[in-house]
Structure 1
């Protein structure tokens, strides 16, 4: 896909591919930059920004402005399209949903998903989920689609249903809602949240008359091949690659506590430094920043007078 195309156009085309496309899923600019550096074509910002950025649960506490401002930073940090969680559209009412879509477009985001939960919403996989009526969900999505068409028809609107995990929910209810949203709205894609088996996923995708995908329950750790996912109609395979960072960071803290010493971290860094010069080297978190340190140096050399040039040679860090 030509990089001269709008990000929204590139994301929309990605969802329409016959083959399943892996979409890395994280929360911070560095996560998007890592995904881009690894060669992925798009990145999703998770509602996990509630926990990672603000330290609060994903239950609708954050405002639309907080979400959009954060996603703007992520979108600006990379050249690949960024797709974002937009909760329930930050209502109440269609005017609020319209503003939400316009603000995400203005932020440089390429698409959003909007769910059919009632406020206050809950994170996927949590108990206590309640749904709005069919009519309210359809109105919410159509307001979003009309707002999209006012500014950028290629901006991707994904209709998410929590019909499976809501109180009294079921696979049948999820599919009924997915088909309803596909037929009664102009949403581009249908998203089923939290199904528990691959047979359920296969059934839901087969019955959906638009591009669709499922984010399974995080307890479903088995995974079909990419060929199998493509054959069952999974549009994107959302991959929360940041999960190991949570678990491994926690375990490192416990090791340091038990040792009452920084030795566990020193041992880790010794092994990490042995990877320098290879693709496997993760460093200390600034390998992927834009502009790079080398680009900053080149700008200084180009634009600063000689009296302000920095010495990048005669200092101890050169040999590090």
Structure 2
């Protein structure tokens, strides 16, 4: 009788321990399929833009407007392309005001009187401005210094042999930690400002570059590779394309597959192996305890 009382208690204890171990690994196995992702913050096209000539500078800036901040009057010597990354920005062109929200944009023609302001009382508004200028030329939108306005970063790149008419597209994106794009080639001229985190460019020829917040960079045209989040938190960036109308901005690239030596192991194999091992442990301990119980009944 003593054996009959001990064995069920032992069996229950073993089952509880094994199930607890199994439960601890289930979140690991279910998380395997949750791949890091990217999301778009901005995608604003401006079609049929006349360039200053075959050679010119693309200049772009990210500018923060605190609550109530207002710029001085800017006389636009050339067309300006303005998009909003965060908050709401009031854009006044020749006395006509329009509120532009996050993810939206508008163009301002050459010769206009431009005023930018944040009428909000709490949230900072973030402007992404781009202009096509003669080499070395400047425009006030990239040098705003009124109270409550701060230029986060400015980037500049000279374009050569440009067509007379281009499409300008302003984009921005956020990458989760661990995210990387598919392999691709950048076909068209572009320029990036990195907003947060650490973003890397890796090329199939072995080249690697990495950029922190506030820096400019490009993924070189006609050089196959991918972009990725190099840090432990989200990374983000904004960029301007100067594209030839009708030409794709990027092209997907299939990388050569590594040789299959038969000795590799799937990336997630250890996690699944651990889960399988614990499942077998549960079954084995249950069978062992049941056998001991039957034997105890027979001996009695």
Q: TM-score, normalised by structure 2?
A: 0.27
Q: TM-score, normalised by structure 1?
A: 0.26
Question: Which has the larger Rg?
Answer: 2
Q: Which has the higher strand share?
A: 2
